[in-house]
Amino acid sequence: MPEVLKDTEKCIELDPTFYKGYTRKGAILFVSKECDKAME
């Protein structure tokens, strides 16, 4: 899953106002059992 996480981070970098990038990153972290990071 690291590739998917990199993609979402690049998405956020390119357009910080695109909320779907943040929600997708949170979902990936949640599924990866990194709930603390997902809450950030």
The residue extents of the domains of the chain are: 2-39
In tens, the pLDDT along 7-28 reads 999 999 999 999 999 998 888 8
Question: Residue 3's pLDDT is what?
Answer: 86
Question: Residue 31's pLDDT is what?
Answer: 83
Question: Residue 9's pLDDT is what?
Answer: 92
Q: Are 23 and 10 in contact (CB under 8 A)?
A: no
pLDDT score of 34 more than 80: no
Distance CA 34, CA 5 (A): 12
Q: Are 29 and 38 in contact (CB under 8 A)?
A: yes
| CB crowding 21-32: b at 16 or more within 10 Å, else e | beebbbebbeee
**Other C-beta atoms within 10 Å of 12: how many?**
17
